[in-house]
Each structure stands twice: as structure tokens, then as C-alpha cells.
């Protein structure tokens, strides 16, 4: 079984509908869905705020590369065009972390594949990933920059203004736990 943490975001078109399309597509694979957060853009490209959320999903038939491919298919279905790095987008689906579940216990997947690097190499710098992830997995840890730390520790290392910019909304993604 491969269990993944996905970060989803949108700042073009019907932002909430784009996020909900991911939840609908993953359906019974979902284990947890964070609240929806409003967040300022990241990366220095002027644009409107994003709606972001984190999803935890598992599927015994999918490998991390399959999750990436599925995320890209969902982005294409939402009309995403990749023109400007860190630019505005209808939908962004990032595979942040993956675990292989085996009889011996879970193993974190590490990949330096040119197409998919795991854990996501920038996740520990992004409050819009860490805050919603912490909501659904308060004890989660992330390995980055040669260190394994709790999400709380990674958040504490970020600029306070960036963390405060991640604001929980009253919007919902229409998911209820199984």
C-alpha cells in the first residue's frame, strides 16, 4: 500500500470547485482532508491568494509515480497551463510525502527521480503545506535538508508572518471520514 500526503491549491477560476474536484476524484482513497486555507502566493510572482488544503490518501495499487500522474491528470482536467514557475494556476497537486506500508511497518519513500523528488524538497519551507498537514496529522514528521523534524519544528523555523498568512476559512471540501 502506498500512502501519500498531497498538497492541493488553486488561485484561478472557481478555486473551491477545483479543490473539490480532487477530493471527488480520490473518493474512497482518502484517509484525511484538512480544512481549506487562504494563503498568499509563494515564489514572488504577483497574483491573487490561493485556496490550499492537504489530503492524505492511500491505495494498494498505486506507486508514488502513479500518484504524480494522477495529480497531473487532475490538473489538466482543471485546465492548468504551465507557463510561469510559481505562477497562477487553476489547480496544483503536489505529492509531498509517500510511505510504503509493509508487514514490517511503514517505510518513507525517498526518491531523487528527476520527475518526482520525495519528500518534496520545498515542503519544509512552505507554511501553506505545513499548517494544513499539521491539522490532519499532528504527529507527522518530515525529513528535509538532512534532518528529520516534526511539522511543528519546521513551522517554528519559518518567518512568523508567513505562518500567520495561512488563514483557515469556513469553506469545506465536502468530505466526510469513512
Name residues whose C-beta falls within 8 Å of residue 78's C-beta, 6 or more positions apart in sequence. 10, 13, 18, 21, 90, 91
Structural domain that includes position 29: 2-119
130 lies in some domain: no
Q: How far is CA 102 from CA 11, 53, 57, 68, 140, in A?
A: 38, 28, 16, 21, 19
Does the pLDDT of residue 111 top 70, yes or no? no
146 lies in some domain: no
Q: Give the CATH number for residue 72.
A: 3.30.70.560
15 lies in some domain: yes
Q: Cell for 39?
A: 494563503
In three-state secondary structure terms, 103 is coil
Predicted TM-score of the model (pTM): 0.90
Q: What digits encode the pLDDT tens for the residues 134-152? A: 999 999 999 998 899 999 9
Q: How many domains does the chain have?
A: 1
> For residue 168, which of 45, 21, 53, 32 has the smallest C-alpha distance?
53
Does the pLDDT of residue 132 top 70, yes or no? yes
9 lies in some domain: yes
168 lies in some domain: no
Amino acid at each position: 500500500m502506498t500512502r501519500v500526503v498531497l498538497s492541493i491549491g488553486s488561485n484561478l477560476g472557481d478555486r473551491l470547485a477545483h479543490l473539490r474536484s480532487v477530493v471527488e476524484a480520490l473518493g474512497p482513497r482518502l484517509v484525511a482532508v484538512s480544512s481549506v486555507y487562504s494563503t498568499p502566493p509563494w515564489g514572488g510572482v504577483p497574483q491573487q491568494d490561493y485556496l490550499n488544503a492537504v489530503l492524505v490518501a492511500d491505495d494498494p495499487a498505486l506507486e508514488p509515480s502513479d500518484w504524480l500522474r494522477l495529480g497531473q491528470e487532475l490538473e489538466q482536467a482543471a485546465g492548468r497551463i504551465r507557463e510561469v514557475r510559481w505562477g497562477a494556476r487553476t489547480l496544483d497537486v503536489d505529492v509531498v510525502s509517500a510511505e510504503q506500508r509493509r508487514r514490517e511497518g511503514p517505510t518513507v519513500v525517498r526518491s531523487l527521480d528527476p520527475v518526482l523528488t520525495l519528500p518534496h524538497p520545498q515542503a519544509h519551507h512552505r507554511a501553506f503545506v505545513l499548517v494544513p498537514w499539521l491539522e490532519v496529522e499532528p504527529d507527522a514528521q518530515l525529513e528535509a535538508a538532512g534532518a528529520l523534524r516534526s511539522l511543528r519544528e519546521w513551522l517554528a523555523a519559518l518567518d512568523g508572518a508567513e505562518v500567520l498568512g495561512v488563514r483557515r476559512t469556513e469553506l469545506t471540501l465536502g468530505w466526510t471520514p469513512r
